[in-house]
Amino acid sequence: MMINACIGNALKSISRSRQRFLAVALACLLVSAGFSLPVAAADAGPFDHVVEHQLKNGLKVLLLREARAPIISLQVWYRVGSRNEELGKTGISHLNEHMMFKGTKKYGPKDFSRLIQKAGGDDNAFTGRDYTAYFENGPKTELTRWLEMEADRMRNLRVSQADFDTEKKVVLEERRLRTEDDPISFLQEEVMAAAFKAHPYQWPVIGWFHDIESITREEFLQRYRQYYEPNNCTVVVVGDIEPQETLKQIELAFGAIPAGPEPPKVTALEPRQYGERRVVVHREAQFPFIMMLYHTPNWQDQDAYPLEVLARILSQGRSSRLYHNLVYKQHLALDVGADYNFDHIDPSVFTIYGQPLPGKTVEQVEAALNTEVKRLQTEQVGAKELQKVKNQAVAGFYMRLDSLFYRGMLLGKLETVAKWTLIKDFVPKIMQVTAADVQRVAKKYLVADNRNVGILSPIKTEKPKMERFKSGGQVH
C-alpha cells in the first residue's frame, strides 16, 4: 500500500503524457513483483478526448488527437462480415473486401495503393465475423486525399467481369493455402461448425470453397450496394489532427453520399447446448492437436471480464498454468493455450487447445487440460497470481495503445460490435475481478455439456508443416 501511495503522489507532479509513459513502465515492473497496479497509474485516460459525431446521412465519425508525430491512421469500418451471410453464399463479405481494391472511374485498379505508398503510407483491409475494415497509415498531409479516395470507392466501385473472375481465383487460392493445406485451421473450422448449428458464426470468414466458387458478379454488386452505405459505416481518424477541421474534411468527402436502406438485421440466436459434441479430423499432419470450445457471452456481459482474466491465468506467458504444468513440468505438450473471443456482436466461444509432444497422446493432453479447468472450478486463485494476471492485462493494454493504428482499431471495432465507450471499462473492470468471480465463471461455462471438442488425428506425411493455432479474421 505504501508503494502504491508513493507512486500515485509522484505521478501527480508530472505531465499527462509522461504519466501515460510511466504507467506502462511501472505496470511492467509490478507484474514481476506481484504488486497491485495503482488506480492513479492505470487511469491515464487515453480515450478521454474522443470526438464523436454523426453526419446527416448516418455516417458515424470518431476522432482522437495524438500529436506526438505528424502521422495519422484513417480507418473505415463497415458493419458487415461473415455474420451477415447465408449458407450457399458464405465468404462473400471477404470477397467484397478484395474487390474494393479494383478501382473506380477516377482511380484505376492499382492506383489506390500506389498513391498511398508513393506518399510514404501503407494500406490494407481485413474481414471478420462482424465487420469489414479498410485503413491507411501515414503522413497527416495525405488525410484529405485518403478521405476522398475512401468516399469514392464507397459508392463508385467498378469491377469488370474479368477482374471479378481473376480475384475470385485469388480468394480460392487463399483458402487453399490458409485452410485446406493447414490442418489446424481446418480443424478449427470443423469445430466451429459443430459448436454453432443455428448462428452464422458456424461458417468461416473466408467461406466454404464451393460457396466462393458459386458467387456471381451480380451477387457481389448487390451486396456492395446493400452494405457499403454511409449509415452502415464508421470513419475513425487517430493522430496529429485538429478534430473540428477533420470533421469538415470528412463532411466534404462523405456528406453528399445519400443514406441507403437499413441493411437486414441478423436475428439468428444459438440455442443452448445440452451435451458435449466431438469432431475428429483425419488430415496429413506431423502431430495431433486438440481444441475445446465453450459457448460464452461477449463484451457487453459482465462475465466477460472474469472470463478474460481466466484465459490469462491459463495461458498468459510462461508462468501461466497451462505452460508451466503441461509444457515445463509434465512434458506433455509442445504448445498449449487459451483464448477468449469476446469482441463480437453475438456470444462466441472460449477456446482451450494443446499439441502433444512426440510420444505423448491427445488423450493425455485432454486429461491434463481438463484437470486445469477442474482446478479453477474447485480452488480459488491465489491473491498473488490473480494480481499478476491483472497487472499483465493492464500493462499489455497500455503498451498496445502506443500504436495509433491499434487505438483506431479499438475504437472502430467496438463501435461496430457494440459501443466504443466500452474501452473505458476495460481497465477498471479487469481490476475489479475477484477470485470468486473467476471460480464462478469457470463453473458456469467450462462444463462438459457446453463443450465442443475437436481432435486432429494425423495421417503421416513426409512433408513438414508448421502447425500453430490461428484465430481471427481474414486479411487482404
Nearest in space to 308 (alpha carbons), one of 390, 378, 366:
390
- Select which of 97, 167, 189, 229 is catalytic: 97
Q: State the DSSP H helix or E strand holding residue 16, giving kind and residue range, or none if neither.
A: helix 16-33
* Cα angle: 435, vertex 445, 422; to 5 degrees: 70
Give, rounded to a whole angstrom, the gap between the first and last alpha carbons of the chain. Answer: 49
Nearest in space to 335 (alpha carbons), one of 320, 357, 350, 351:
357
Q: Which three cell numbers stand for residue 412?
A: 472502430
Helix, strand and coil in the chain, % to nearest 5: 50, 20, 35
Using DSSP's 3-state secondary structure scheme, residue 363 falls into helix
Using DSSP's 3-state secondary structure scheme, residue 416 falls into helix
* CA trace torsion 465, 469, 472, 476 (10° rounding): -10
How far lies 225's CA from each of 6, 104, 297, in Å? 58, 14, 32
Residues 6+ apart with CB under 8 A from 367: none
97 is catalytic: yes
Identify residue 475 by its one-letter amino acid code.
Answer: V
Q: Which residues are catalytic?
A: 97
